[in-house]
Structure 1
Amino acid sequence: MAFGVTKQELAAWKRSVRSGNVAFLTHFWYDKRFPQYNTVTKAACSDRGRLIEWGLTYGLHETWIHEDRLYPHFDLIGADEFRILEQEGELEKLLKLRMRAGSNHERMR
């Protein structure tokens, strides 16, 4: 379940992914395997080949792709999430969520 995302943000992300763009959806998240993280970014693209190439530029392995039929994606967390979003010029949403959660983004780098 994605918390901290509006219906409009989700719809825009889906349209962008279906159009063959690499698109980012950052939201609050909890997984007991990774209790130190409270956000995740789904980096998705309907063109799997493009997604693989994009991931390789950031050191992400093809085997890490979540094989969703419509929205194949990488889940970005922690330092990789921050680094990749910063390099992609997509850091604003992550910082806003972390401020809302009272997190110090430097601690999570």
Structure 2
Amino acid sequence: MAFGITRAELAAWKTKVGRGEVALLTHFWLHPRYPGIKTVTKAGCANLDTLLEWGQTYGLEQKHLHMRKGFPHFDLIGDKQKEVLVQEGLWEQIHRFRIPV
């Protein structure tokens, strides 16, 4: 279940993804498979080559890619989420979602 973002934020992410840009969107998230994890960052891009190349810079493998209709993405959680957000300079998302760095 996703929460903590607005419809406008989700729409902006979808627009960027659809244009073939790598876009990152963090939101609160709870899943029974990941106790203690409270946020996820979706790193998406409709251009698979661009997304996979971007993912390689962070050690992300194609097998972890989620193929959603028009919105392929990586789900980033835990240390990988923190690493990517810091490297991408997305401090607003880090502070807003209280991700410890």
Shorter-chain TM-score: what band? Answer: over 0.9
Find the aligned partners of 2:66 and 2:91 in 1 and give their Cα distance.
22
1:89 Cα deviation after fit: 1.1
Matched, 1:2 2:2: yes
- 2:37 alignment partner in structure 1: 37
1:6 Cα deviation after fit: 0.6
Find the aligned partners of 2:80 and 2:33 in 1 and give their Cα distance.
17
* Aligned CA-pair RMSD: 1.2
How does 1:27-106 map onto structure 2 within 5 Å?
Answer: 27-98=27-98, 105-106=100-101
Find the aligned partners of 1:6 and 1:40 in 2 and give their Cα distance.
15
Give the percent of matched residue pairs that are identical in Structure 1 and Structure 2: 50
1:69 Cα deviation after fit: 1.8
Structure 1 unaligned segments of length 5 or more: list them. Answer: 99-103
- 1:15 alignment partner in structure 2: 15
Find the aligned partners of 2:91 and 2:41 in 1 and give their Cα distance.
10
Find the aligned partners of 2:38 and 2:3 in 1 and give their Cα distance.
10
Structure 2 unaligned segments of length 5 or more: list them. Answer: none
Q: What is the TM-score with the length of structure 1 in the denominator?
A: 0.87
Aligned length: 101
Higher strand share: 2
Q: What is the TM-score with the length of structure 2 in the denominator?
A: 0.94
Find the aligned partners of 2:60 and 2:52 in 1 and give their Cα distance.
8
